[in-house]
Amino acid sequence: MSAARAAIVTGASSGIGLAIAKVLGEEGYALTVAARRAEKLEAAAQGLIADGYEVHSLAANVSDEDEIKRVVEAHRERYGRLDVLVNNAGVGVGAPVAEIETKRLDMQLGINLRSIVLFYRESMTMLRAAAAEHKNVLVINTSSISGKHGEAWLSVYSAAKHGVVGWTEAMNKELGKEGIKSTALCPAFVDTPMTDFVKGQVPAEEMIRPEDIAESVRFLLRVSPACVVPEMMFVRPGEAL
Ligand SMILES: NC(=O)c1ccc[n+]([C@@H]2O[C@H](COP(=O)([O-])OP(=O)(O)OC[C@H]3O[C@@H](n4cnc5c(N)ncnc54)[C@H](OP(=O)(O)O)[C@@H]3O)[C@@H](O)[C@H]2O)c1
């Protein structure tokens, strides 16, 4: 099967990733959606299919290099091209510095940062082919406002998300002239399952909507090849940076 435009979205089974997948579907992209838990992902994929979008879902753990290769290869086999890559899967585990567990350290770096490097590497052939065609390939890397300033007790998450911003900057320098543009999204609290832990202090209705973040992707798809947007911050009214 071939498609006019195609995208991979990781962490697409809920929250920000699912909202971005919807926008890409609306914009005519055939989708590969990936996330860890198969059942939750399948339910999300069925919703997207019911909305009329072309969707292939693949349960995969992005902390595993072979699984990343499998997602990219399955996408290539099905659609033959990659115009938008959304590296969105992420996890945050809080801990005071003296109590950081090595397993959780590795897990957070693996999912939030290492997987992004591997997705780029594995996708380069398809990204370059699409860029040669239309000079407007987009890679979205979901960082966080914690990627702009360090957060106490979320130090490993903050470090990984700063890494995502740095990696995005490096990719723009390395690949920008070829027509491969990268954007780091840096949101504060968004109403998703990830922020359930804090909803006692910050009500869900006062949080940024996942659709607010996804709308930025529509904008990024529309800007001309002459314009790169390296990062976007999303904060709540009155929130200090
Ligand atoms: N919500 C916020 O306030 C906020 C703010 C700033 C940045 N972010 C970032 O936004 C991104 C999306 O988070 P969200 O808020 O939308 O939370 P979410 O609804 O919990 O979504 C996280 C997604 O990532 C997937 N995922 C987690 N670990 C994975 C793994 N090892 N392999 C594959 N998929 C995995 C989840 O699938 P499973 O559930 O199956 O694991 C889920 O689809 C993350 O990178 C997060 O750090 C969120």
Partner residues linked to 181 by β-bridges? 138
Kindly report the protein residue whose alpha carbon is nearest to atom 44 of ligand 1.
90
Structure tokens given for 25: 């579907």
Tokens of 182: 């990268």
d(CA 202, CA 189): 9
Both structure tokens of 88: 């969105």
**Share above pLDDT 70 across residues of the chain, in percent, rounded to a whole number:** 99
| pLDDT single digits (tens) 64-89 | 999 999 999 999 999 999 999 999 99
- Domain layout of the chain by residue ranges: 6-234
DSSP string, 147-161: GTS--TT-HHHHHHH
Q: Is 140 helix (H, G, I), strand (E, B) or coil?
A: strand
pLDDT of residue 239: 87
Ligand 1 atom closest to Cα of residue 111: 31
pLDDT computed for residue 45 by the predictor: 98
Ligand 1 centroid – CA 90 distance (Å): 4
Q: For 12-16, what is the mean pLDDT? A: 98
| pLDDT value at residue 240 | 73
DSSP state of 176: G
To the nearest 10 degrees (0 to 180), the angle between helices 155-175 and 115-134 is 30
If you take atom 8 of ligand 1, which residue's CA is the nearest one? 144
Residues in Cβ contact with 100 at an 8 Å cutoff, skipping those fewer than 6 apart: 155, 156
The widest CA-to-CA distance across the chain, in whole angstroms, is: 52
pTM for the whole structure: 0.98
CATH number of 6-234: 3.40.50.720
For residues 37, 113, 213, 231, the Cα torsion angle rounded to the nearest 10 degrees is: -170
Look at residue 1 in the predicted model and tell me its pLDDT. Answer: 62
| pLDDT tens sequence across 146-156 | 999 999 999 99
CB 11 within 8 A of CB 4: no
Residue that is written with structure tokens 């801990």 in the block: 95
| Mean pLDDT of the residues in the chain | 97
Q: Which residues line ligand 1 (CB under 6 A)?
A: 10-17, 35-37, 40, 60-63, 88-92, 111, 142, 144, 187, 189-190, 192-195
